[in-house]
Structure formats: C-alpha cells, structure tokens
Chain A
Amino acid sequence: MKAADIMTKEFDTVLPSSTIKEAVSLLRCAKRGEDIKGVNALMVMDESGKLVGLITMSHILKAIIPFYMEMAHLSEFAWEGLFERMCHKVQDRKVSELMERKVITVDPDANIFEISELMLKSRVRRLPVVEKDKVIGIVYRKELFFKIVDTMLDKEGCR
C-alpha cells in the first residue's frame, strides 16, 4: 500500500497573501475528499501552484495568545475583551506570517510504514503527497488508522 492509494485527492488551498480571516473561513468550510467538512490545516500554495507552507489551527491558536503571556506564564492575568481584540488583530495578518514554511512531504510511492514513521517522528497529522514539485494529494493520519481498522476488524464496523 502506497501513499498514492491512501491519499485524499480533493483539497482546498490558501494563498500566502490571503488574510487569516480568509484562511479561517476556508478551514471551517474546506473540502475533505468529496464532502465539505472543514479541516484542521490548509496547504499554502502560491499562484503557480507551488507548495510554500502549511497553516494549521494551532498556528492560529498560538497567534491569539500575546507572546509575553506565553513567555512568562501570564495567561491567567487576561482581562475581559482581550480575546476578541486579539482575534480582530490576528484576522488581518497574512497567512505567510503565521504558516509553517518547512513542510514535510512524501513521495506517492512511500509505503505505509514510511508514512507512519514520518508522522510520528515529526509530530504531524497530515503529509502532502508531492510528485515532481506538484501536490497530488494529502495523507491524513486518520485515513492511515482506518487502514489498520479495516485490516484488523475485517470491515465489521461498530457494534
């Protein structure tokens, strides 16, 4: 079983120049396979379709916390209205400011063990599948786990 067999081929992407507000709206309503379910992360691609980054829910959560609070454990001293203010401040920032630039990717012919190892080692839940500098799909950890479920339970489903 290869990455190409497990990957999801339909996905939405975001531009590096998009605002966080646009990214959040996409995260909420993005395609995941055939359905529109919302996703936890978006691949960031420039106009030419080149993968330049990845933006996840965690990046946005982190941006909401004022850095000094994180630095000195001061989160307990937040006041009423700070959360809304930070959200409004962050919404106009560019995706390129918050995204992870070093995206870990896999080849379409990577096997299931290679993918699992990479996900565990680099602590990511999704890996873009890249063929000749072009993203052809994305492998989710969940899909990987479903393969294990299918194999172990012989498709008997929930009882």
Chain B
Amino acid sequence: MTELYIGTTIFILSYIAIVSERIHKTIIAIVGASAMLLFKIMEQREAFFSEEFGIDYNVIFLLIGMMIIINIMKDTGIFEWIAIKSAKFAKGEPIRIMVTLSVVTAFLSAFLDNVTTVLLIAPVTLLICDALEIDPVPFLITEAIASNIGGTATLIGDPPNIMIASKAKLEFMDFIYNLTPIIIIVMVAYIFTIKFMFKKSLTVRPELKARIMEMKESEAITDPTLTRKSLIVLTLTVLGFLFHSQLGFEPATIALSGAGILLLVAGKEPNEILEKIEWTTLFFFMGLFIMVGGVVKIGLIKILAEQALNLTQGNMFATSMLVLWFSAFASAIIDNIPYVATMNPLIIDMAKGLWPNVTDPVALVHTPALMPVWWSLALGACLGGNGTLIGASANVVVAGMSEKAGKKITFMQFTKYGMPLMIESVVICTFYIWIRYYLL
C-alpha cells in the first residue's frame, strides 16, 4: 500500500512540475524516473528491459531513426525548394499561398516531425510575406495548425501515434485505413475555413507578386547529389513503413535502417549529424516511460481505469466519445506526450476489466470493440494540440519565430483561431467515429 502512495506522489508531483514549466520537463522526467527506482517502486531491470513497465524502445528508436534522416535532409535545401515552388504555384496570391503552404506542411508533417516541418517551412513563409509586404502571423498560425492535423494522419506523423501504435500493436497501414481518410476530410474543411477567415484581409499589389514569381527555387538546393540520395532513401523508408508488416519488421527497424543507409551514403561526419538528434526529447520520453511504468505497476492506472469504466458503464461508444473529447481538451492544455503515455496503459487496464477472459495481450488490445477507442485517443490527443498556443510544440515554435520577426503572437491571438478550428476538427471526428464504427 505504501508503494501505491509513494509512486502516486512521485507521479503527481512530476506532472505538476511539468505543467508548471518552472523546471525543464526533461529534468523532471529524469528525476521522477530515478525516484521511482530509488524508492523501489520498480526494479532497474523492469525499467530497462520490461516490455510492460519499462522504456518503450520502439518509440525511442523510431524517433532516433527519423531524426537522423531529417537532420541529413534539412541542409540540402529541398524543403525550401518545395516551399518556394508552392508559392510560385499559387502565383503569388496570398490566400492561395496560405492554402498551398498549409497543404504542403500537413503532407510533410504526416511523415516528418511537426516541429521540424514548421522550422523548415516558416522561414520561407517569412520570406514570402516580407516580399509581399503582408502580415506573416495568419500564415504562421495556419501552418502550425496544418502540421498538427497532418501529423495525425500516419503512424510516424506525431509522437502520440508512435506511442499508441507501439502499445496497441498497430501497423502503419492500420493508421492509413483508419486515420488518413478522416484527416483528409478534416484538412478539406480546414482549408475552406481558413479561406473564409482570411480571404478579405489578404490583398497585395501585383508588382509585389512579381517578386515571388522571380524567385528561382533551384537556387535553394545546396547539395543536389545529397538531395537525390536522401530523397531515394526517404522514399524507400516510407515504402518500408507501408509494407513493414508484410516484410515482418517493426516500424523502428525500418526507421533505423533508413537512417543507417542515409548515414552511409551521405558521407558526413557522424558527429555532425548525431549531435543534432534531439536528445532532450528522447530523454524526456525515457524518463516518462519509467515514471508511467511505475504507476502502472503499483496499480494506480488500474484504479483510474476502473473509475473510467464506472463513468461509461462499459458503453464503448460513450467511452470513445469521452476519450476523444477529453483528450482534445487535455492536449490543448498539457503536453500530449505524457498524456498519451498515461492513457495507453489506462486503456489497456480498462480492456482487462472489460474482457477478463481474453488472456492473450495482443488479442486484448486488438478486441474489435476497443479499436475505436485507440483511434479516438489518437485523434483527440493530436488534434487537441491546436486548441491553444501551448497545446503543441509546433505552435510554440512558430510563435517564437514570429516574435523574432517583430510580430508577437499572443496566447489569446492563437486561441482565437486555434480553438474554433480544433473544435471544428473534433466535431468532424465525432461524426466519423460514430458513423464508421458504430452506425455502419
């Protein structure tokens, strides 16, 4: 019993510390994880090697692999090329540029980390807005939101999906079948909404459009050979993801192999590439996994799962809706990574309560009635990030860049656009979950 209290205290204190943002979240995660070990809530062996309670290396290595690939690719200039090409495709017309850049950002985010995507697209956006002499803020906000929407579409698009896929034993194609269609619908609705929101305020003189049309996008490519090599490796990696189950490989194997091949052919110093891996994020994950593992082991999560079951009375439609909407608002306020790390075992414990006769762990997480709950979690946790400025890292990054450009994006200014757009997307998802999984 004391273990339950100590473990719960460590967990709650860490959560409060993470939300308060006084100390860096990675430091808290490492301190919290070591506290779990020091107080013998869990053994080191469990923390490092147990699939049930320990660090989820599927997530860690999938992230490492993708980070290496993107770190090599981002200096080639290919993303700047794509962004400038899009602006020219839009004929320098502001609203069309906003739409094309949002679509491009969403598409890239489906395969790359959201923060990386906005870090690549936002500088070009500032260039284009400067050339057109218009306010970049609406462009930056719509891109951040687009990256969060696009990231939801695939297994590798956003960390919550990677985590859900690992715990629920889901494949890349499961996400393509279940999430990609709805994300396309959400994206179409999003495009219409932003067109409506910003159409009137965005007009420019024709001579300024000429500045865009005169840009030679080919000059953005700094290293044509490496660009070609990395595009080939990225294509192979994406193909690898699409067929990973047929090939009999986990997604992390595909990502790591892609990274290995690209490191081999890129001919760069490994130091140069590996030091740019976001180790801070990875250590945050590792610490978090150990902390969550601790509270799963002591039964806290099981108690919470029982409470949730009492609330929904085992009605799976109600559970899906609760998970979808609760996740959306929770993710708008707190980091969706610790949230999903906690929700994953909670859903598994809930499944254990609902179907005590299913002993096979894979069969349990794949119980047909449970599937919509996983999709609701993914949609809620990823799309919820759009609700406020602090809901997703991509939002914080564009706000930082905007401030540097002399245009501060306030919390309220972001929320004014983000919250309605988030609610719109979650309403669409509500209908999707209801029609696809409960009506048909």
Contacts and interface: CB of A to CB of B under 8 A. Distances in A.
Interface of A: 66-69, 71-74, 76-77, 79, 82
Contacts of A69: 123, 127
A74 B130 contact: no
B80 to A, nearest CB: 6
A77 B84 contact: yes
Interface string B216-227: 100110100000
A72 B80 contact: yes
Contacts of A67: 404-405
Given A72-B80, A73-B80, A76-B219, 6 more contacts: A66-B405, A68-B126, A73-B77, A73-B220, A77-B131, A79-B131
Interface of B: 77, 80, 84, 120, 122-124, 126-127, 130-131, 211, 214-216, 219-220, 222, 401, 404-405
B124 A79 contact: no
Contacts of B219: 76-77
A54 to B, nearest CB: 23
B131 A72 contact: no
B222 A73 contact: yes
Nearest to B75: A73
Q: Is the interface of B mostly helix, strand, loop or mixed?
A: helix
Nearest to B404: A67
| 9 closest residue pairs by CB, A with B | A72-B123, A68-B126, A68-B123, A79-B211, A76-B219, A71-B123, A77-B215, A74-B127, A67-B404
B123 A79 contact: no
Contact of B120 (A72, A76, A77, A82): A72
Nearest to B79: A72
Given A76-B219, A77-B215, A79-B214, A68 B127 contact: yes
A71 B404 CA distance: 11
Given A66-B130, A68-B126, A68-B405, A74 B80 contact: yes
A79 B120 CA distance: 21
B222 A68 contact: no
B241 to A, nearest CB: 27
Contacts of A82: 130
A73 B126 CA distance: 13
27 contacts: A66-B405, A67-B404, A67-B405, A68-B124, A68-B126, A68-B127, A68-B401, A68-B405, A69-B123, A69-B127, A71-B123, A72-B124, A73-B220, A74-B80, A74-B124, A74-B127, A74-B220, A76-B216, A76-B219, A77-B131, A77-B215, A77-B219, A77-B220, A79-B131, A79-B211, A79-B214, A82-B130
Nearest to A66: B130
Given A72-B120, A77-B215, A79-B214, A66 B127 contact: yes
Centre residue among A69, A71, A72 by max chain B CB count within 10 A: A72
Contacts of B404: 67
Contacts of A68: 122-124, 126-127, 130, 401, 405
